[in-house]
Amino acid sequence: MRLHDIAVVGASGLVGRKILEVIQERKFETGKIVAIASDASEGKEVNVKGKSYRLQKFSEHVFKNLEFAFFSAGASISREWAPKAAADGCIVIDNSSAFRMEENVPLIVPEVNRQDMFKNKGIISNPNCSTIQLVVALKPLDAAFKIKRVVVSTYQSVSGAGNKGITALESELKNIESKTASPFPHRIAHNAIPHIDVFFDDSYTREELKMINETRKIMGKKDLAITATCVRIPTLTGHGESVNIEFDKKVTPEEVREVLGAAKGVTVLDDPANNVYPMPADSAEKDDVFVGRVRTDSSVKNGINLWIVADNVRKGAATNAVQIAEEYVKGK
């Protein structure tokens, strides 16, 4: 079996560490692993599931002779170093927003648009975590029934803001007046903040526009009618999404469950009479997208409501990135 030499950029961060963990769990056959972090971290080690990785800083041609480079260190780092890694022959799988909407960079969720990854010019983008779980559920439904319009409201955990988000919530839960530096514009403990990333002139946030534009690109439906409201809530892991879908024709909840039950990467949990439905806590450390609360929306023609949950750090970032590498190795 051929071994794959790789780099993980941002290896000391929340997603970088999770990539190293997922690589082990999924037995992605690696040879050399170059763990890259900030200059201040050079020489330190990160331990992931019993394996130690010595951190090194960026250097000229650090990516030379490597097959894959997983980037998870923010858009500015990706914009500076991902093109250099691609020029050195790496296939870059980038978790940041740096290249997602560039026309010549494929934006990939393997269950949805695997074939597009082979159109890359050295860089493949990993979508936003909220987008990934949404399109995994939308794609099979669109193929079966054709989607007309989507309205999505998110309930996003603090881990979506990285280690700083987790630290802020934990500090505030211990002391509601905590002065710990927070990535959130307001207190997150015992609260819900309808504001993720910056606002634009139209009063949508960047997070909401990411979901809208990325969903259209991944699904190959540039004119898809979709709107989003993104909310941060005080949970540690797992994003929830309340999704309202209008189809071109009448669709029953039973038909939706049947299609999603057969879809790759989807688990249907939908027995409300027995309190069975997906919850963020139950999605932790799992790679599937979970769907429940399937019901008819009688306020519109051909409407269906769904509740979608997934682990935002795993499927929403690390696992999706590793899946891209796995599928790339398999070839077209």
Q: Would you list the DSSP string of 144-160?
A: HH-EEEEEEEEEE-GGG
Q: Is 195 a catalytic residue?
A: no
Alpha helices in 31-128 (DSSP H): 75-87, 110-113
What span, in angstroms and rounded, lies between the C-alpha atoms of 74 and 214?
18
What span, in angstroms and rounded, lies between the C-alpha atoms of 82 and 69?
8
Angle between helices 129-145 and 253-261 (to 10 degrees): 110
What span, in angstroms and rounded, lies between the C-alpha atoms of 125 and 131?
12
3-state SS assignment for residue 121: coil
pTM value? 0.95
Q: Name the residue type at position 30.
A: T
pLDDT exceeds 70 at position 90: yes
Report the pLDDT averaged over residues 125-141: 98
**Long-range residue pairs from 176-181, CB within 8 A, at least 24 positions apart, any chain:** none
| Residue whose token pair is 């763990």 | 35
What span, in angstroms and rounded, lies between the C-alpha atoms of 77 and 96?
9
Other CB atoms within 10 A of residue 325 CB: 24
pLDDT exceeds 90 at position 275: yes
Report the pLDDT value the prediction gives residue 44, as an integer from 0 to 100.
86
Q: Is 239 a catalytic residue?
A: yes
- Residue 283, both tokens: 């999605």
Report the pLDDT averaged over residues 215-237: 97
Report the pLDDT averaged over residues 195-207: 97
Report the pLDDT averaged over residues 142-160: 98
| Close Cβ partners of 245 (under 8 Å, ≥ 6 residues apart) | 138, 141, 147, 149, 150, 303, 304, 305, 306
> Which is catalytic among the residues 4, 90, 129, 230?
129
Report the pLDDT value the prediction gives residue 292, as an integer from 0 to 100.
98
> Which is catalytic among the residues 4, 90, 230, 239?
239
Nearest C-alpha neighbor of 242 from the set 251, 231, 252, 253: 231
3-state SS assignment for residue 220: coil
What span, in angstroms and rounded, lies between the C-alpha atoms of 91 and 83?
10
Confidence class for position 51, pLDDT limits 50, 70, 90: confident
Report the pLDDT value the prediction gives residue 60, as an integer from 0 to 100.
87
pLDDT exceeds 70 at position 1: no
Q: Name the residue type at position 38.
A: S
Confidence class for position 180, pLDDT limits 50, 70, 90: confident
Report the pLDDT averaged over residues 282-302: 96
Report the pLDDT averaged over residues 47-74: 92
Walk me through the domains of the chain, giving residue ranges and CATH numbers.
4-127+317-330 (3.40.50.720), 130-312 (3.30.360.10)
pLDDT digits (tens, 9 = 90+) for 294-331: 999 999 999 999 999 999 999 999 999 999 999 999 99
Confidence class for position 49, pLDDT limits 50, 70, 90: confident
Could you tell me if 244 and 305 are in contact, meaning their C-beta atoms sit under 8 angstroms apart? yes
Share of the chain above pLDDT 90, in %: 91
For the chain, give the mean pLDDT. Answer: 95
